[in-house]
Amino acid sequence: MCDWELNQVSIVGIIRRFVQSMTSIQYLVDDMTGPPLNVKLWVNMENCGLINFASPGTYVKVLGSLRNYNGQRSLLAMNIRCVKDLNEITSHMLEVVQAHMQLFGKVFDVNMNTTAALPLDGRSHHEGIIPDGLSTIQSEVLNVIQKFSAHEYGISFQDLRTKLNYLSFLDIRTTLAFLINEGFIFPTIDEQHFKSPQQ
């Protein structure tokens, strides 16, 4: 991918067919990014009875090593499991989009069309845009703290709770601990006032 060798990968797709032998199971998994991928899972004779075989039409998540032999891609699976919660498919798609944004330094819209370029460090320095890798709650808390970082002591915990009254006390406290540990914010005059060094 862009002259980079990929080795350990995670894919989510639909099983199109499978063939079982004495020592392995061969799956044809379609992750909708190209032709279906050949996936091989070696099985141990003693554990063969413990393996649940996924049937065609089932969504699975596969972790394994990518192989390329004579121009044919295949995946040597370490783990295959059925996807029981369909939110996992959406989550995987979002991870793929985020990986593309980080690898290519571009921002994509919902149809994967390029909308703007990011600086090479992967972070935007425009006001209101949050660094990569933060959850929605972490982004919201950081955004409010950044807005008040111009004040001498930053923002108090009580004012932060007032501004983010739709978040629970525990969510705000947990997020503050994370943001401090990651260096996004720091306490000022006491443990109840916070600023961001990015202002």
Quick: pLDDT tens for 91-112. 888 888 777 777 766 555 555 5
Report the top-level CATH class of 8-82.
Answer: mainly beta
Strands 37-42 and 72-82: parallel
In tens, the pLDDT along 143-168 reads: 899 888 888 888 999 999 998 888 88
Calculate the alpha carbon distances from 123 to 12, 89, 99, 100, 106 in Å: 28, 26, 14, 14, 10
CATH match for 136-195 among 3.90.1150.10, 1.10.3720.10, 3.90.1310.10, 1.10.10.10:
1.10.10.10
| Radius of gyration in angstroms for the set of CA atoms belonging to the chain, rounded to a whole number | 23
pLDDT attached to residue 69: 79
More confident residue, 50 or 42: 42
- pLDDT reading at 120 higher than 70: no
Instruction: Write down the H helix ranges in the chain.
Output: 87-104, 136-147, 157-163, 169-181
* CA 127 – CA 89 distance, rounded (Å): 32
Specify the pLDDT at position 46. 59
Query: For residue 138, how many other CB atoms are within 10 A of its CB?
Result: 20
User: Can you tell me the distance from the alpha carbon of 52 to that of 94, in angstroms, rounded to the nearest whole number?
Assistant: 28
Quick one: average pLDDT of 63-74?
Answer: 83
Question: Could you tell me the maximum CA-CA distance found in the chain, to the nearest angstrom?
Answer: 71
* Strand boundaries in the chain, DSSP class E: 8-20, 24-30, 37-42, 59-69, 72-82, 106-108, 114-117, 155-156, 186-187, 193-195
Residue 10 has pLDDT above 80, yes or no: yes
| pLDDT tens digits for range 170-190 | 888 888 888 888 788 888 888
Q: In this predicted structure, which of 35-44, 47-56, 77-86 has the lowest mean pLDDT? A: 47-56
- Condensed to tens digits (0 to 9), the pLDDT of residues 14-49 reads 999 988 888 888 999 998 888 899 999 888 765 555
| Predicted pLDDT of residue 13 | 92
Given this model, what pLDDT does residue 118 score?
42
